[in-house]
Chains A and B, each alone.
Chain A
Amino acid sequence: MGVLAKKLLGIGVGVVVAGVLIGLYVAGWATSFPKTVAAVSTRPVVGVSGTQLTLQTVAAIGPKYSPSNPDWVSYLVKEKGKWVHSTVFKVPANSIVHVTVLQYDGDSGLRNPFLSQVQGTLNGRETVDGKSIDAIDPEEASHTFAVPQLGVFIPLPGVPEEAKNQCEFAPCTLAQAHRTITFTFRTGKRGRYRWQCFVPCAAGWIDGNGGPMQTLGYMDGFLEVT
């Protein structure tokens, strides 16, 4: 084999190897998925099985959970008493899901004020710090928990700016300033349903919809109804 042919062969092999490595890296990134956390079973309500999901929303996820993006807003979910950085939740089909959200972030405001109304819960309402409401002031919205395919839209009001003892990084504790929001909705048939926050809460990104709003595991995820 001539010198030129060897060189070409070497370059060709190098390009193929580099291409495969790049492809594997991209595929690994593209298929990475947060851990799935199952909701906890609760006592049946009116003969319908129920589960409980406990979530928290934080202004900054912190270096412990996300060394690469510690200042991103995020959801966390409680699993066996510990906070897990995941947004993929498993719930049973045709059942009741009780959700408690501990909301530690300040308000950003809803881009579409229509989404300030509670939709899709069993009674069309949510409870905020013990008070039952059917809508919040859209200016006070910090995040939302919305599952459009199920018609569930839950506005989450923010912690007032002047509140003391605000949480800096996740995981946040009950001793720190927060709002407690509870709501209940019903799941239907099995499937994978995406959920998202509708508040443009990604600080520093154009339109507030970049970064954590467009990365699985922060401000959006899946409801695995099984």
Chain B
Amino acid sequence: MAAEATHGGSEPNHARRFATIWIVVSLIATPLVVLFVGPIMPPGNGSAQASGHVTDNTVLIGMATPVLLLVLVYLIYAIVHFRAPKGGAGAVLEGPAISGDTRIQTTWIVVTSLLVLSLAVYGTVRLVEDGAGSGQGASPAWPASGKKLPVQVIAQEWAFTYRFPTYGGVETTHLVLPVNQTIELHVTSLDVIHSFWAYQLGVKADANPNVDNVVFVKPTKLQTFEVRCAELCGIWHGYMFDHGRVVRPAVFQVWIAEQQKRFAASKKYLPPYSTKYVPEPARRGG
């Protein structure tokens, strides 16, 4: 794109023009995208972890906007400035053969590497805070701080059930959590691999048999959230969904007391609470 003589006049410095246009457009568009698209990024602000994901997505879209504009501006610029003139005046000129330009190549590699490395650092920092709503295995490397309410998520073909070890180990069919309280979820499975995905809470953790997968979440607003299985587990995988609720602490206490009463008949049959269970082979058909 260096200035060249063509018939009739000198060629402008396309590189400088293009770069100028790109920088100006990026400086206008990127803040607009961050301000207006950022707040509506998924998964919403149902928990501290979900809010973190909104921030992460906003950062990503903010970084992606200039990259996208680089491609679009170049495309439009090329269409406008390098198209054949009307009336077909003169022969189609071919530019000089491109040979390696060390400066451009080096710049390209350095810039893209910096982008990727910066994202790696950013992602690591976010993970180290409290796991960012993902499972950390049985011994979390980055546990959340403060008092936590342990809740076990038990996946089986094809429903989730939940146990509350600090409330007598009561098991329930629905998940209700107190707001503004850090929850320590212990996710496991009784049969095949599943994945516990509470979308609005920004939580997704694999549920593997004989494995305790710990994930931390702090719901920050009263809400109803969706629970789905996110790992293909058989014919009813798509139906393995439910709705959970985040309620005030006092309402949670009333609810858990009701569950203890409601499921009293099964209490004597439940095994002692454990972070994982290995159902006997005798209980598998055949």
In the complex, chain B residues 258-286 whose Cβ is within 8 Å of any chain A Cβ = 263, 265-266, 269-271, 279-280, 282-286
Q: Given the known A-B contacts A109-B283, A111-B279, A220-B235, are A196 and B156 also in contact in the complex, defined by CB atoms under 8 Å?
A: no
A101 within 8 A of B: no
- Which of B88-96, B122-130, B157-165, B244-252 is near enough to bind chain A? B157-165
Contact A117 B283, beta carbon cutoff 8 Å: no
Q: Which residues of B contact A200 (CB under 8 A)?
A: 157, 191, 283-285
Assess whether B283 is in contact with A119, with CB atoms less than 8 Å apart: no
Q: Please report the C-alpha to C-alpha distance between residue A207 and residue B266 in the assembled complex, in whole angstroms.
A: 23
Kindly state the separation between the CA atoms of A25 and B266 in the bound complex, as whole angstroms.
Answer: 46
Identify the closest chain B residue to A155 (Cβ).
B266
Cβ of A208 and Cβ of B266 under 8 Å apart? no
Q: Which residues of A contact B154 (CB under 8 A)?
A: 112
A198-214 CB mask vs B (1 if < 8 Å, else 0) is 11111111111100011
Q: Are A196 and B286 neighbours in the complex by a CB distance under 8 Å?
A: no
Smallest Cβ distance from A164 to chain B, in angstroms?
A: 24
How far apart sit A110 and B279, CA to CA, in the bound complex (Å)? 9
Does A114 interact with chain B (Cβ within 8 Å)?
yes
Stretch of A84-92, A130-138, A169-177 at the chain-chain interface = A130-138
1/0 per residue B164-191: CB within 8 Å of A?
A: 0000000101000000000000000011
A203, closest chain B residue (CB): B286
Out of B173, B191, B242, name the residue touching A111 (CB < 8 Å): B191
**Chain B, interface size: which category?**
20 to 34
Q: In angstroms, how far is the closest chain B Cβ from the Cβ of A43? A: 30
The smallest beta-carbon distance between B159 and chain A, in angstroms, is 5
Nearest-CB distance from A58 to chain B (Å)?
Answer: 14
Contact pick for A201, options B270, B280, B285, CB 8 Å? B285
| A108 interfacial contact with B, CB 8 Å | yes
- Residues on B with C-beta less than 8 A from A73 are 285
Given contacts A112-B161, A203-B285, contact A138 B269 (CB under 8 A): yes
With beta carbons under 8 angstroms apart, the residue of A113, A194, A202, A216 that contacts B266 is A113
Q: How far is the CB of A135 from chain B (nearest CB, A)?
A: 4
Number of interface residues of A (CB under 8 A): 40
Listed in ascending order, the chain B residues whose CB lies under 8 Å from chain A are 154, 156-159, 161, 171, 173, 190-192, 234-236, 239, 242, 263, 265-266, 269-271, 279-280, 282-286
A113 with B191: CB separation less than 8 A: no
> Considering the chains assembled together, what is the distance between the CA atoms of A200 and B286 in angstroms?
9
B286 touches A202 (CB 8 A): yes
Contacts of B271 in A (CB 8 A): 113
Whether the Cβ atoms of B266 and A110 lie closer than 8 Å is no
Q: How far is the CA of A110 from the CA of B286 in the complex (A)?
A: 14
Write out the residue numbers on chain B whose beta carbons fall within 8 Å of the beta carbon of A220. 235-236
Interface of B is mostly: loop
- Most A CB within 10 A of own CB, among B158, B263, B283: B283
Which of A73, A113, A115, A137 has the most B CB atoms < 10 Å from its CB?
A: A113
CB distance A117 to B286 under 8 Å?
Answer: no
Contact A116 B173, CB 8 Å, known A108-B285, A200-B191, A214-B235: no
Q: Given A114-B161, A196-B236, A207-B284, is A137 in contact with B279 using a C-beta cutoff of 8 Å?
A: no
Contact between A216 and B235, CB atoms less than 8 A apart: yes
Given contacts A202-B285, A209-B157, 14 further A-B contacts (CB under 8 A): A108-B283, A108-B285, A111-B191, A111-B279, A112-B156, A114-B266, A134-B265, A135-B265, A138-B269, A200-B157, A200-B191, A204-B286, A208-B283, A213-B235
30 inter-chain pairs at a CB distance below 8 angstroms, sorted by A residue, are A108-B283, A108-B285, A109-B280, A111-B156, A111-B279, A112-B161, A113-B266, A114-B161, A114-B266, A117-B263, A135-B269, A137-B269, A138-B269, A148-B159, A148-B173, A148-B242, A196-B158, A196-B236, A198-B159, A199-B285, A200-B283, A202-B285, A203-B286, A207-B192, A207-B284, A213-B157, A213-B285, A215-B235, A216-B235, A220-B235
Which single residue of chain A is at the shortest CB-CB distance from B239?
A: A194
Given the known inter-chain contacts A114-B266, A214-B234, please indicate yes or no for A198 contacting B285, CB distance below 8 A: no
Residue A151 interfacial (CB < 8 Å): yes
Nearest-CB residue, chain A, relative to B235: A214
Task: Give the complex CA separation of A200 and B269 in angstroms.
Answer: 18
Please, how many angstroms separate the alpha-carbon atoms of A196 and B234 in the complex?
A: 12
Inter-chain contact B285/A205, CB cutoff 8 Å:
yes
Minimal beta-carbon separation of B168 from chain A (angstroms) = 13
Q: Is the CB of A204 within 8 A of B285?
A: yes
Instruction: Evaluate whether A194 and B286 lie within 8 angstroms (CB atoms) in the complex, with A135-B266, A209-B192 already known.
Output: no
Chain B residues closer than 8 Å to A115, beta-carbon distance = 266
